[in-house]
Amino acid sequence: MARSKKTRKGGENGPKFAPRVKKTDRNAVDGKKSESGRKSGSRHNEALLKQASGSGAAVTKDARHGSKKPVALSLPTSITEPLVVKPKQPKITDEQKLLKLEEDPRLNQLLDQLEEGRDLSDADQKWLDAQLDKIEQLMQRLGLTEGGEAPAPSPKKQLTDDELLNRFESGADLLKDYKKQD
């Protein structure tokens, strides 16, 4: 078979190129993009910016400039300020809690309004009920509740010395019996 020379034309299967456009038409299409933002190097030329804007106009500082405060590049050798530990507040006793709740001005104001016959809002009523429940619980813990609601536990019968001695001796006998079983 005879050798055929390659041609520059691609034929039907060759790559398709965009049609040729004159140079004058190309510049009009592409055009230069409008500039947005500051000029390059503008943060280094604050003096030029001040001159351009005028000496009377107030120029805002460039936000890209960082702090001028020097930074220590070495670690401190010792801590100058000792760590301050806050002293823990002592726990409030039940009696103190009760006094604090009873002296609350909002509680007193709402109780006065109830005595006068005024209606309270839902939020105030809920708060008042919660405070009264807390006061009641604290009074029960302290044993200050008025009689009638819960009977006080009756004190146990006092045993005489002879009864206590008999009880002690019977316990000793039970211990001996338990040791014999092993």
Residue type (1 letter), 104: D
Record the pTM.
0.34
Instruction: Please provide the average confidence, as pLDDT, over all residues in the chain.
Output: 77
The Cα 83–Cα 147 span in angstroms is: 53
Phi/psi for 155 (5° steps) reads -70, 145
* Pair 142, 98: CB distance under 8 Å: yes
- pLDDT of 18-47, one tens digit each? 888 887 777 665 556 677 777 777 666 767
Say whether pLDDT at 125 is over 70.
Answer: yes
The closest alpha carbon to 125, from 113, 136, 139, 143, belongs to 113
- pLDDT of 63-85, one tens digit each? 667 788 888 888 877 766 767 77
Q: Where are the alpha helices (DSSP H) in 21-62?
A: 23-30, 46-53
For residue 56, what are its two tokens? Answer: 């009377």
Percent of the chain with pLDDT over 70: 74
